[in-house]
Chain A
Amino acid sequence: MPDGGIGASTKRREDVRFLTGKGRYTDDFNRPDQTCVWFLRSDVAHGRITRLDTSAAEEMPGVVRIFTAADFVSAGGIPAGWQIHSRDGEPMKEPKHPILADGKVRHVGDPIAAVVAETRAQARDAAEAIELEIEELPAVVDMRAALEPGAALVHDDMGTNLCFDWGFIEENRDAVDAALRAAPHVTTLELVNNRLIPNAMEPRAAIGEYDAADDQHTLYTTSQNPHVIRLLMGAFVLNIPEQKLRVVAPDVGGGFGSKIFHYAEEAFVTAAAKVVGRPVKWTSTRSEAFMSDAHGRDHVTRIELGLDTDGRFLAIRSTTLANMGAYLSTFAPSIPTYLHGTLMAGNYTTPLIYVNVRAVFTNTVPVDAYRGAGRPEATYQLERVIDKAARELGIDPIEIRRKNFVKPDQFPYQTPVAVNYDTGDYDALMDKLVEIADLAGFPARRAESAARGKLRGLGISSYIEACGIAPSNLVGQLGARAGLYEAATVRVNPTGGITVFTGSHSHGQGHETTFPQVVASMLGIDAGQIEIVHGDTGRVPFGMGTYGSRSLAVGGSAIVKATDKIIAKAKKIAAHLMEAAEADIELADGRFSVAGTDKSVAWTDVTLAAYVPHNYPLDQIEPGLEETAFYDPSNFTYPAGCYACEVELDPETGQVTVLGFAAADDFGNVVNPMIVEGQVHGGIAQGIGQSMLEAAGYDENGQLTTGSYMDYAMPRATDLPSYAVDNSCVTPCTHNPLGVKGCGEAGAIGSPPALVNAVLDALDAGGIAVTHIDMPLTPSRVWAAIQAAPRAATA
Chain B
Amino acid sequence: MPQVSMTVNGRKVSGEVEGRTLLVEFLRETLRLTGTHVGCDTAQCGACVVHLNGESIKSCNIFALEADGAAVTTIEGIAGKDGALSVVQAAFQTHHGLQCGFCTPGMVMTATALLKENPSPSEVEIREYLEGNICRCTGYHNIVKAIQAAAVELGSSRVAAE
Contacts and interface: CB of A to CB of B under 8 A. Distances in A.
Contacts, number: 177
B40 A16 contact: no
A717 B140 contact: yes
Contacts of B108: 19
A454 interface: no
Interface in A525-546: none
A677 B145 CA distance: 13
Contacts of A202: 37, 39, 100, 102
Interface stretch (A147-155, A251-259, A350-358, A561-569): A251-259
B33 interface: yes
A286 B134 CA distance: 13
Q: For B40, B44, B130, which residue has the most chain A Cβ atoms within 10 angstroms?
A: B40
A18 B34 contact: no
A508 B137 contact: yes
B38 A203 contact: yes
A728 interface: no
A717 B100 contact: no
Contact of B101 (A253, A674, A678, A718): A253
Contact of A685 (B37, B39, B139): B139
A221 to B, nearest CB: 16
B102 A254 contact: yes
A681 interface: yes
A23 B83 CA distance: 15
Q: For B78, B89, B131, B140, which residue has the most chain A Cβ atoms within 10 angstroms?
A: B140
Q: For A283, A681, A708, which residue has the most chain B Cβ atoms within 10 angstroms?
A: A681
A15 B141 contact: no
Q: How large is the interface on A (under 10, 10 to 19, 20 to 34, 35 or more residues)?
A: 35 or more
Interface stretch (B51-59, B64-72, B90-98, B150-158): B90-98
A121 B36 CA distance: 19
B3 interface: no
Contacts of B42: 286, 708-710
Given A508-B137, A681-B142, A717-B144, A18 B41 contact: no
A189 B26 CA distance: 54
A285 B75 CA distance: 22
Nearest to B34: A28
Interface in A674-701: 674-675, 677-678, 681-686
Contact of B137 (A17, A22, A682): A682
Given A22-B35, A28-B34, A201-B39, A720 B101 contact: no
A508 B101 contact: yes
Contacts of B89: 19-20
Interface string B76-87: 101100010100
A285 to B, nearest CB: 5
A678 B96 contact: yes
A509 B75 CA distance: 22
Contacts of A708: 40-42
B102 A21 contact: no
Contacts of B79: 19-20
A723 interface: yes
Nearest to A718: B127
Interface string A22-33: 110101101000
A785 to B, nearest CB: 27
B85 A16 contact: yes
A195 to B, nearest CB: 17
B99 A508 contact: yes
A629 interface: no
B130 A716 contact: yes
A286 B136 contact: no
B103 interface: yes
A60 to B, nearest CB: 15
B74 A21 contact: yes
Interface string A700-738: 000000001110001111101011000000000000000
Given A16-B93, A681-B139, A722 B75 contact: no
A256 B101 contact: no
A18 B29 CA distance: 19
Q: For B28, B85, B98, B136, which residue has the most chain A Cβ atoms within 10 angstroms?
A: B136
A787 interface: no
A717 B94 contact: no
A14 interface: yes
A251 B140 CA distance: 21
Contacts of B20: 121
A723 B141 contact: yes
B117 interface: no
A509 B134 contact: no
B40 A252 contact: no
Given A200-B136, A201-B103, A256-B136, A717 B131 contact: yes
B126 interface: yes
Q: Which 7 pairs from chain A and chain B are nearest by CB?
A: A21-B35, A18-B101, A253-B102, A685-B139, A508-B100, A508-B99, A681-B139
23 contacts: A11-B93, A11-B94, A19-B79, A21-B36, A23-B35, A25-B34, A25-B102, A27-B34, A201-B45, A253-B102, A254-B102, A674-B96, A677-B96, A682-B99, A682-B136, A684-B139, A685-B136, A685-B140, A708-B42, A709-B40, A716-B140, A717-B127, A720-B127
Given A201-B137, A254-B136, 9 more contacts: A21-B34, A21-B105, A27-B34, A286-B41, A682-B138, A709-B44, A716-B131, A717-B126, A722-B141
